Structures are given as structure tokens and as C-alpha cells.
Chains A and B, each alone.
Chain A
Amino acid sequence: MSRVGILVFPGSNCERDVFTVLSKFSGLEPELVWHTKNDLRGYDAFIIPGGFTYGDSLRAGAIAAHSPVIRELKKISEENLPILGICNGFQILVESSLLPGALTVNSSHKFVCKSARLVVKNNSTPFTTMFKKDESISIPVAHGQGRYVIDNRAYRKLERNNQIVIRYAQNDINGSMNNVAAVCNEQGNVMGMMPHPERAVWIQMDQDIRPEGSGVFESLRNHLLWH
């Protein structure tokens, strides 16, 4: 069994969804981990779920980025364990500098909540091996601060290193630079994505939604099985 720690902060609200989805996959043992925990030994992977940690005070993810559990996560991120941040989790990862760039207010200045068409650009991360390169998928987004921003030089580096993992296939989501929806770190073990794959696993959830988020968790399961 692979233990997957789901990091929970005051204001997280997608941890149960992620927990339930992970429970569906044999071989994965999800566990909720409270933000004050400062010993993360014994886990095989981590997921930071969505939500509004600390009420998005200061900036989305800015306060959670300083918690004991993130300080600990920074130490073990070099051990090449898979770490996935979803939505607010992605915001926490950029605010803690575990991922490059920044996420700021959508260019529409509105909260965006809908199914987004995406294109998988890098299918070699622990979270995307089940997809084909350039595969088109649909996964819901729900965020107010999802516009990915980075300076041009750093952006070119991301492209060279294949760190832009998923792009939006439509222009009307949040104004992200070149439609960036997910990025990973240089080693590829840390990834953040604005769309919510855990909301696209069971088709009963919404008639418009296909179970295309499953691939993210299947990829993780396979990665943990074979590594």
C-alpha cells in the first residue's frame, strides 16, 4: 500500500473529495494530515487539495505557505516524492516557492466556475503518464485567483524544460500567460494545477463532465506502484 498524505489547513474544502477518489484506487491509502504536523516521514506522496485557506487573506495560499507542514514538505521535496497541488494547493506551492511563478486575480476579475477544455503537454510527470501527449480533456475549474504570471525569461526556461504540463484549450478561463493551467518543478515531481481532477471522476456528478480527471490519480497510482 502507498500512503498518500492529503494536507489540510483551516479553510481547505476539497480534502474529502480527494480522499474519496484516492480510496477508489486499490493500492493507495489516503490519509488526512493536519497543517501543524512537522514530521512527514512514512508517506509516499502528498496532495494539497483545493479550498480557501485562511480565507485567502493577503493572497490565496500566502499564509498556508508558512505552516509547519509546508516547511517540512520543502525539505522532503528534494527526495523526489510526488507532490500535487490542486487549485488552492497550486497557489500554496507557488507561494512557498516549491513551484515557479505566481497566481493572481483572474483577468476578468470574476470567479470562474465551469468545465474547462485542456491539453496535456507533458505526459511524463507522475500525474500525467496515463494521458497521451497533446490529449484533449475536460476538467472543471473554480477559482478567483488562477491567472498564472511569470516573467518572460523564466517562462522561456519553463518551456525549454517541458515544465508546462497542461494548458487551457480556450482563452476565456483566467488570462493565464499562454494559457498555462499546470506547471511542474524542474525535477518533475512537484506539480500544481488549477483544474480540479477530483471533480471529474464519477460521471454521476454532472452530466456534462466526463471522468477525465481519473487519469491524474491513475498516473499517480501507477507511478507509486512501479517506483
Chain B
Amino acid sequence: MNTNTSKSRFIVLVNIENKPYVSDPEGETILRDLIMEEGYSVVESVRTAKSLKMIVRAKNPKQAEKMVMKICEKLRIFNPIISSCTVNVVKSLP
């Protein structure tokens, strides 16, 4: 995919999280053995996620998000069986 001719650069944040039906042992440990242990009972749930920060070239933020999502799906950056993925432009670069 050649995007070098596009004008703008964007910071895109990719967030990959287990689907609700897949348990997250790391999040459970953080909640049970750290947060609850230290008495912060206001916290009900913790889910860990993997996030990737990409700098990409695209015409506009919408195109940047669409393109990154496509790459994530094609290369299985997230595993669709167990994970969901969100893609958001967080900043436009000069």
C-alpha cells in the first residue's frame, strides 16, 4: 500500500481488548491483588488491552482510521476470535 503521496500525518491509536466472553487473567489479578487489596472498592472491573501507536500518512483522519483498520484486519494485528479492536486518530501532525 503506497501512501507516501498523501499530505498529512496522523497519530493513530489502535486498542486491542479481549471480547467480553474471553476472561482476562491479568486484569483480574490487577483488580483482585492490587486495587481491591489496597482498599479501592470503587473499582468494579479491570480489563487489560494492548495498544499500538502508529504514525501514518493519509488524506484526512477518517481515511487514516479506515486504512489502519484495514491493515489490522488483513495482518491479523488483532485476533478476531478473541479480541475486538478500535482505531482512533488522536492527533494530527504538521
Contact = CB atoms under 8 A, between A and B. Distances in A.
Contact of B22 (A59, A62, A95, A104): A104
A53 to B, nearest CB: 15
Contacts of B18: 104
B26 A105 contact: yes
Interface string B3-28: 00000000000000010011101100
B81 A66 contact: no
B90 interface: no
Category for how many chain A residues contact B? 10 to 19
Given A62-B76, A149-B82, 15 more contacts: A65-B76, A95-B76, A95-B79, A104-B18, A104-B22, A104-B82, A105-B26, A106-B25, A107-B23, A107-B25, A109-B26, A149-B22, A150-B81, A151-B21, A151-B81
Q: 10 smallest A-B Cβ distances: which pairs?
A: A109-B25, A102-B81, A102-B82, A102-B79, A149-B82, A107-B25, A104-B82, A149-B22, A109-B26, A109-B29
Interface of B: 18, 21-23, 25-26, 29, 75-77, 79, 81-82
Interface string A27-69: 0000000000000000000000000000000110010011000
Nearest to B79: A102
Most buried by A among B18, B75, B77, B79: B79
Contacts of A150: 81
Contact of A149 (B25, B76, B77, B81): B81
Contacts of A215: none
A59 B25 contact: no
Contacts of B76: 62, 65, 95
Nearest to B28: A109
A149 B76 CA distance: 17
A101 B29 contact: no
A56 to B, nearest CB: 12
